[in-house]
A and B are shown apart, each in its own frame.
Chain A
């Protein structure tokens, strides 16, 4: 199954990259942009057919390595196409 781990800086944490991207979008005349937060997305293939196990493993990996709990939050999801496809 394919586990998606989304890692974002916590809401209170300053995001220099997001701010620079927002500034660039403003320069491109996207004046309606009020804020940008930059994050990371990990697409991880896990050898299991059990969605609960895939989510559990993804959560462990995110907590241990992929996110730094001091500054980042994470969310776990299963890629739907792969889940529908079954064995993988």
Chain B
């Protein structure tokens, strides 16, 4: 084991973000990270190892969820960081922002049932090619909460077909025993997609909240596995 420096994590705070502190706590407790909260109107991310776009309701979700946040000054820095291969994790509203910004494919529609859904879901890990799933087995089922009204992810059929061939589907909604179908999908997303990555695999977005299932006190620790996987990936990269 190398004595690596603590990872630096930038948590972006938009007007209306409300899971930024939860993400920061998860990064501190699980990654032992040096966390910098970066305001939407700042440009300096602080040379991070990981950027988290947290959940919430940036700009009140006016127009479309994430539509205004993508034009925040900080997003230029996030896009540049992602283009250099930096690890970016978008959670819930963060996922919506990444789609609106074009850093991830597809777009969000209103939940198929038109209701805001706030409950635990089960996710099947579909790809190990991201830093957040590299240390998790494909097919593993994780439990964590969702809380959103616009999580019905969709994409044009040719785009989606291309994504599948490039292994860009990272998480799918399943039942507790890992099967697709039935009431497992809380929002009607295309092919039960819960989380995706970009072509390179360094930018990941998911609707469920791993940071809200990252401590036994919160009722579950499956979400912590994404952060632990990131830590493992980072150490492996450093030792290379």
Tell me, in angstroms, the Cα distance from A9 to B156 when the chains sit together: 13
Tell whether A14 is near chain B: CB-to-CB under 8 Å: yes
**Most chain A C-beta atoms within 10 Å of own C-beta, residue among B106, B154, B155, B188:** B154
Give Cα A70–Cα B64 distance, bound, in whole angstroms.
13
Say yes or no: B156 contacts A16, CB within 8 Å: no
Q: A71, B107: Cβ atoms under 8 Å?
A: yes
Are A17 and B110 touching (Cβ within 8 A)?
yes
Q: Contacts A65-B71, A71-B154 hold; do A16 and B188 have CB atoms under 8 A apart?
A: yes
Chain B interfacial residues counted at CB < 8 A: 20
The docked-state distance in angstroms from the alpha carbon of A13 to that of B159 is 14
Inter-subunit contact A17/B114 (CB<8 Å): yes
Contact with B along A23-44 (1 / 0, CB 8 A): 0000000000000000000000
- Whole-angstrom distance between the Cβ of A16 and the nearest chain B Cβ: 5
Chain B residues within 8 Å of A66, by CB: 63
Q: How many A-B residue pairs have CB under 8 A?
A: 38
Interchain nearest-CB distance for B149 vs A (Å): 10
Q: How far is the CB of A15 from chain B (nearest CB, A)?
A: 8
A70-B63 contact given A16-B113, A16-B188, CB 8 Å threshold: no
Cross-chain contact B63 with A65 (CB below 8 angstroms) = yes
Instruction: Report yes or no: B109 in contact with A71, Cβ–Cβ below 8 A.
Output: yes
Q: Write the residues of chain A forming the contact surface with B, with a CB cutoff of 8 angstroms.
A: 9, 13-17, 20, 65-66, 68, 70-71
B: residues with CB less than 8 A from A are 63-64, 67-68, 71, 99-100, 106-107, 109-114, 152, 154-156, 188
Please measure, in the bound complex, the distance between the C-alpha atom of A34 and the C-alpha atom of B182, giving whole angstroms. 27
The listed residue with most A CB atoms (<10 A of its CB), out of B110, B114, B152, is B110
A60 to chain B, nearest CB (A): 14
Asked whether A20 lies within 8 Å of B114 as measured between CB atoms, the reply is yes
24 A-B contact pairs sorted by A residue (CB < 8 Å): A9-B109, A14-B109, A14-B152, A15-B109, A16-B109, A16-B110, A16-B111, A16-B112, A16-B114, A16-B152, A16-B188, A17-B114, A65-B63, A65-B68, A65-B71, A68-B64, A68-B67, A68-B100, A68-B107, A70-B99, A70-B156, A71-B107, A71-B109, A71-B154
